[in-house]
A = this chain, B = another copy of it.
């Protein structure tokens, strides 16, 4: 059915919304839901979270006066309905504009957006800051944090709640309780939310009240009239309040309501194609899951851990079922995940914690204090590390500086399936080191021969092809780029370059590096991440006082936002041709 734009046509800002009748707003919700489905089916994106927030967002904008009143969304991936109502509806109704707006709040797009954030659990603290600044200048506007879809399990959210409740002035925390994270929710808090839903907010044992909040419950999170009525009641209150709102993730799309985890985020075309199960093709997720299952069968005390992103690392619902007590989802709680893994390792277990590169940055202190300082033999798998065309909020190019400058950490960069499996095997067996493995992000490459390296001899680089004049060190995912650079050097400059696969990010093979001085003028480093604080700089420091020159390749220190990967490669000179030209100019 093609939907008209009957009501949506009239709504270009929250102001326009305020002239609508309730039945018009109900119709508006239908229209918005229709276009979310259509757009996301074309481009891919966060589906379930946004379908669940349609009515609540309409009611918020009907009652409050954005942008004077300020609304902070968290996770901001549930802001699509907000974008419809704040001047950006064409990003959903006009296919030519589908890629105009980001899928997160973005102050550069609209005065109704306050922060560019995509990681979870941030809104309460940020809103607290907005409120404090308001109080300092004697302002009166409402400050609203909308938090949910798993965000409540993050420590930052709790620190924010604990401070917001004693702010002593207006702040409204809207809990979007859809009983889900990306996968199902985990943790004691969610049992309390369940109790509160079941008692319609009446249970005495109440997490929010225990933190000191004035508390309101609404069961009808998709009833605009009731939502409006409650929001009007809490508007302009002079103290911190929590509005606990029960919504349905995927609301209005039957298949999404019944398969909430899968429809959290969909690929382009999935709705037309129907339910698409996860592909059975080999990827590093499935390789990882198979490895862990084989260890479980060997009766080893392995335990796979995910901070609410099991799909990333091959921990499918079927895997989780088979793994039983050998699998734990800790919810969106990366700090806990790292300390938990350290504790398991200390007591003889073999934890394998799988995280996305973008989210490992939530755990620096835990990596340093809880894990590395204690040298506990936990295994961390860092997925998706590398330069990418992602949103600025989900960049994956910072994990090398983050992890590799922490003492005692062993950070490994496999270049193929065989190395990955050997490193995994070694990491799980050894008892000396906290180990992180940067899972290749350039697809599964098999070299067809087993890796027999003893990784307990740390920082031993692999001399893959011996040449002279120029040595190319290709780290992890960029080893293949190194191969191509070697070819380009041969072809363009007649140089038979040396090719090195360092495998260890966290240390220098001084013997090998020293040996290169004999017959190499130049060492070239290639790393799939930001240069600042990374691998190449350490090579540059090593050769700093010698005659050997060093050229380092990787990303510039910058937040990029949905810049196509090929453009970034051009920008950073990450093609064999550009690198060969640079080398030619240098030697």
Q: Which A residues are within 8 Å of any B CB, using their own CB?
A: 70, 107, 114-119, 122, 125-137, 153-166, 186-189, 191-192, 204-207, 209-213, 301, 303, 325-326, 328, 330-331, 333, 335-336, 339-349, 351, 361-362, 364-366, 368-370, 372-374, 392-393, 398, 401-402, 404-408, 522, 530-534, 536-538, 540-541, 543-546, 549-552, 557-559, 586
Contacts of A131 in B (CB 8 A): 343
Instruction: Judge whether B557 and A344 touch: CB under 8 Å.
Output: no
Q: Which B residue sits closest to A160, measured CB to CB? A: B336
Name the contact of A341 in the complex, choosing from B129, B328, B349, B541 (C-beta under 8 A).
B129
Instruction: Judge whether A364 and B361 touch: CB under 8 Å.
Output: yes
Interface pairs (18), CB distance under 8 Å: A115-B346, A125-B366, A132-B343, A132-B344, A134-B347, A153-B162, A156-B336, A163-B187, A166-B186, A166-B191, A192-B212, A204-B205, A401-B405, A401-B533, A532-B538, A533-B534, A540-B550, A541-B541
- Contact flag A188-B159 (CB < 8 Å), given A119-B365, A533-B405, A541-B550: no
Contacts of A209 in B (CB 8 A): 205
Name the contact of A129 in the complex, choosing from B158, B192, B339, B530 (C-beta under 8 A).
B339
CA distance in complex: A552, B540 (Å):
11
Instruction: Judge whether B373 and A128 touch: CB under 8 Å.
Output: no
Most buried by B among A159, A364, A398, A522: A159
- Contact flag A188-B212 (CB < 8 Å), given A133-B301, A398-B405: yes
CA distance in complex: A427, B96 (Å):
42
Q: 12 extra interchain contacts, Cβ-Cβ under 8 A, other than A161-B188, A373-B393?
A: A115-B342, A125-B335, A127-B343, A128-B343, A133-B347, A153-B162, A163-B187, A163-B333, A189-B212, A398-B406, A404-B532, A533-B537
Name the contact of A192 in the complex, choosing from B133, B210, B346, B543 (C-beta under 8 A).
B210
Instruction: Judge whether B541 and A122 touch: CB under 8 Å.
Output: no
Instruction: Judge whether B210 and A325 touch: CB under 8 Å.
Output: no
Contacts of A534 in B (CB 8 A): 533
Q: Which B residue sits closest to A372, measured CB to CB? A: B559
CA distance in complex: A404, B161 (Å):
29
Contacts of A586 in B (CB 8 A): 545
Distance in angstroms from A242 CB to nearest chain B CB is 11
Distance in angstroms from A16 CB to nearest chain B CB is 26
Instruction: Judge whether B533 and A544 touch: CB under 8 Å.
Output: no
Most buried by B among A188, A206, A538, A552: A188
Sorted nearest first, the 5 A-B pairs with minimum C-beta distance are A129-B343, A155-B155, A165-B188, A188-B212, A133-B349
CA distance in complex: A102, B501 (Å):
41
Distance in angstroms from A400 CB to nearest chain B CB is 9
Q: Which B residue sits closest to A340, measured CB to CB? A: B129
Instruction: Judge whether B163 and A336 touch: CB under 8 Å.
Output: yes
Contacts of A70 in B (CB 8 A): 347
Q: Which B residue sits closest to A128, measured CB to CB? A: B340
Instruction: Judge whether B133 and A348 touch: CB under 8 Å.
Output: yes
Instruction: Judge whether A159 and B330 touch: CB under 8 Å.
Output: yes
Contacts of A347 in B (CB 8 A): 70, 129-130, 133-134
CA distance in complex: A166, B328 (Å):
11
Q: Which B residue sits closest to A129, measured CB to CB? A: B343
Distance in angstroms from A582 CB to nearest chain B CB is 8
Instruction: Judge whether B552 and A335 touch: CB under 8 Å.
Output: no
Contacts of A161 in B (CB 8 A): 188
CA distance in complex: A451, B544 (Å):
33
Contacts of A538 in B (CB 8 A): 532, 537
Contacts of A401 in B (CB 8 A): 401, 405, 533
Instruction: Judge whether A159 and B165 touch: CB under 8 Å.
Output: no
Instruction: Judge whether A159 and B335 touch: CB under 8 Å.
Output: yes
Q: Which B residue sits closest to A326, measured CB to CB? A: B136
Name the contact of A342 in the complex, choosing from B129, B163, B540 (C-beta under 8 A).
B129
Instruction: Judge whether A207 and B207 touch: CB under 8 Å.
Output: yes
Instruction: Judge whether A374 and B115 touch: CB under 8 Å.
Output: yes
Q: Which B residue sits closest to A548, measured CB to CB? A: B544
CA distance in complex: A160, B365 (Å):
15
Instruction: Judge whether A405 and B530 touch: CB under 8 Å.
Output: yes
Distance in angstroms from A579 CB to nearest chain B CB is 12
Most buried by B among A191, A408, A530, A533: A533
Contacts of A407 in B (CB 8 A): 557-559
Instruction: Judge whether A122 and B325 touch: CB under 8 Å.
Output: no
Q: Which B residue sits closest to A549, measured CB to CB? A: B545
CA distance in complex: A153, B166 (Å):
13
CA distance in complex: A128, B340 (Å):
6
Instruction: Judge whether A402 and B191 touch: CB under 8 Å.
Output: no
Distance in angstroms from A133 CB to nearest chain B CB is 3
Instruction: Judge whether A536 and B541 touch: CB under 8 Å.
Output: yes
Contacts of A559 in B (CB 8 A): 372-373, 407-408
Instruction: Judge whether B153 and A159 touch: CB under 8 Å.
Output: yes
CA distance in complex: A243, B447 (Å):
56
CA distance in complex: A3, B530 (Å):
61
Contacts of A125 in B (CB 8 A): 335-336, 339-340, 343, 366, 370
Contacts of A122 in B (CB 8 A): 339, 366, 369-370
